[in-house]
Every structure is written in structure tokens, then in C-alpha cells.
């Protein structure tokens, strides 16, 4: 990526390109005290940007850090960054907090902030393949599951590698009692008999901002959405499967295990409703 396609805000100033953030003694590098968020600015739209900025603040607090900027200050920086790119450029926005020092727990007073904004086109909704994996999300007593924290991602990465080893794009991960939790990179929904089903937010996986938005939009449109415990076997009988998440927003699963699937009417309606909503954020 060219330096002009990425800007980093650190220590009160904007710098072009990728910028070193940590030293060899940084607590975050050794002990994982990093939280972040991902948001999208595309076609001059910024859906739920304020909620993403708030979530990174909340995530810092979950890990015992003291956020050095509040939601509105981060939001102001985001819109300042947009001016540094061509109008309408598809941008991926990543605010982050981390701790510089501490013993095992981070020293709140050492919390630092950076905002990284990069050109990143939305993926085409061509569909992806997925399979079940043997990995699971931790229970809240075993990990800071309320935070969008870097420490969760090595486990999700294991699920992705397991899926790719079998020739699939993405892996499905369960909760601690064996019910479906999510795709390794996004929240999961499926359609059956004209209704949408999605795992209930039980504290083991992140209750995604895009997930919540899509559920609200579908329900307002008259679609029944069931948030409940879902057994893995149910995915094998779904009429359609799709995902919600910030990186791709709403994307169809076109192959699950050995079954080929078509992008279904519920997926198409969810995507249409989301884009209509996003247009109101111009």
C-alpha cells in the first residue's frame, strides 16, 4: 500500500503511511493490552461511526485502561482524516488504545491512542464458503469478551486456518457448550422458512454493531428475527446463510460444508435495508 493510502494519528499529529507505535518494552506487545475498533467510511457514508468510536472507549475500560479521548473527540478525528483522501474513497477506520506499562495488569495512566485510516475497498458480495471448526469462544469469566480486544484474535485465527486447510474461506466457531457462536470474522445469520435466525448474544462473542443494526432494520421491515441458541446441525438445513460485520457489512455464504447455497431473499433484503440506512448517514 502506498503511503498516500494510509494516514496515522499518533501523539497529536497526523503522519502519512504506517507508523511505528510501540517499543520493545511496551506492555501491549508483551501482555496484550490492545483494543481497537473497525469502521467504514465509503461513498461519503459513515454508518454507525459514533457507535464504533464509543465501543473502542468502552473496550479500553474493560481491559483496565483509561481512554485518553472520548467518543466525540475520536469522531472528530475520523472526519478530519477523511479530508486527506479523495472524495468518496472507501476507507477502513481503526481507532485503538493500548497500555505502555504495567506488570500483569496495565497501568491505566500509560494508555495511548492511535487512529489508522486506510484505503480499503468493500469486498464484492460474491459469496464465501464456510465450514464448522473445532474451536470455541471463551466464556466471560475466562476472557474480556465484552471488549473488541486483540487478545481474542489468535483463537479466531486458528478457526480461520482450520477452515482454509479444508478449502473453505471461513470457519464457524461455537460457544463453550457447543452452540453456534459466529463466523471467525463476523456474526452469523441464516434464513429458514422466511424467517431469520441468529445466535443469541450470550456474552461469548461480540454483539456486533452491524449485527444489531441489521436485526433492527429487518424487524422494522416486518421480518421475524429469532435470537436463540442454535445447534450446529441447523446450519446444514438452512435455506440461506449470511454474515454481518463491519469489514464486508452484509455478505452471503454460497457454500456451507458440502452444500451449495444461493444468496437468498432474506440476505438480499438485509443488504438492501442496510445500504438504505447507510445513505442516511451522508
Name the residue ranges covered by the structural domains of the chain: 3-119, 128-279
* pLDDT score at 253: 98
pLDDT tens digits for 69-81? 999 999 999 999 9
The pLDDT > 90 percentage for the chain reads 98
Q: What are phi and psi of 257, to 5 degrees?
A: 50, -120
- pLDDT of 282: 84
Dihedral pair phi/psi, residue 187, rounded to 5°: -75, 155
Round to whole Å and give the CA distance between 268 and 265: 5
- CATH no., domain 128-279: 3.20.10.10
Give the mean model confidence (pLDDT) for residues 199-211.
Answer: 97
CA 15, CA 5: separation in Å to the nearest integer?
Answer: 12
Q: Once rounded to an integer, what is the mean pLDDT over residues 155-162?
A: 97
Average pLDDT in the chain? 97
Q: Would you say domain 3-119 falls under CATH 3.40.50.970?
A: no
Q: Are 125 and 263 in contact (CB under 8 A)?
A: yes
Predicted local distance difference test score (pLDDT) of residue 13:
97
Q: What is the pLDDT of residues 214-246, one digit of tens each?
A: 999 999 999 999 999 999 999 999 999 999 999
Could you give the angle at the alpha carbon of 29 between the alpha carbons of 24 and 32, nearest 5°?
Answer: 160
Give the whole-angstrom CA distance, residue 169 versus residue 162: 10
Q: What percent of the chain is helix, strand and coil (3-state, nearest 5)?
A: 30, 30, 40
What residue spans of 36-184 are helical by DSSP H?
49-62, 71-82, 153-165
Please state the rounded mean pLDDT for residues 24-28: 97
Amino acid at each position: 500500500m502506498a503511503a498516500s493510502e494510509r494516514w496515522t494519528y499518533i501523539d497529536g499529529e497526523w503522519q502519512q503511511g504506517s507508523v511505528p507505535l510501540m517499543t520493545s518494552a511496551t506492555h501491549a506487545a508483551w501482555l496484550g493490552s490492545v483494543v481497537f475498533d473497525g469502521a467504514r467510511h465509503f461513498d461519503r457514508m459513515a454508518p454507525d461511526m459514533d457507535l464504533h468510536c464509543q465501543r473502542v472507549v468502552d473496550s479500553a475500560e474493560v481491559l483496565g485502561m483509561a481512554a485518553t479521548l472520548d467518543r466525540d473527540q475520536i469522531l472528530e478525528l475520523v472526519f478530519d482524516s477523511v479530508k486527506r483522501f479523495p472524495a468518496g474513497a472507501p476507507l477502513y477506520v481503526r481507532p485503538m488504545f493500548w497500555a505502555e506499562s504495567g506488570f500483569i495488569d496495565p497501568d491505566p495512566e500509560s494508555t495511548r491512542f492511535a487512529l489508522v485510516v486506510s484505503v480499503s475497498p468493500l469486498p464484492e458480495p460474491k459469496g464465501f464458503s464456510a465450514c464448522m471448526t473445532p474451536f470455541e469462544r471463551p466464556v466471560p469469566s475466562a476472557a474480556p469478551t465484552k471488549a473488541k480486544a486483540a487478545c481474542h484474535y489468535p483463537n479466531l485465527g486458528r478457526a480461520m486456518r482450520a477452515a482454509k486447510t479444508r478449502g473453505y474461506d471461513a470457519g464457524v466457531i461455537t460457544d463453550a457448550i457447543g452452540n453456534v457462536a459466529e463466523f471467525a470474522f463476523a456474526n452469523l445469520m441464516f434464513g429458514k422458512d422466511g424467517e431469520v435466525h441468529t445466535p443469541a448474544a450470550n456474552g461469548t462473542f461480540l454483539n456486533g454493531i452491524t449485527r444489531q443494526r441489521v436485526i433492527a432494520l429487518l424487524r422494522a421491515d416486518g421480518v421475524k428475527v429469532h435470537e436463540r441458541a442454535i445447534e450446529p446441525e441447523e446450519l446444514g438445513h438452512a435455506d440461506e446463510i449470511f454474515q454481518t460485520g463491519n469489514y464486508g457489512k452484509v455478505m452471503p455464504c454460497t457454500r456451507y460444508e458440502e452444500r451449495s447455497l444461493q444468496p437468498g431473499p432474506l440476505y438480499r433484503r438485509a443488504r438492501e435495508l442496510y445500504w438504505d440506512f447507510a445513505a442516511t448517514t451522508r
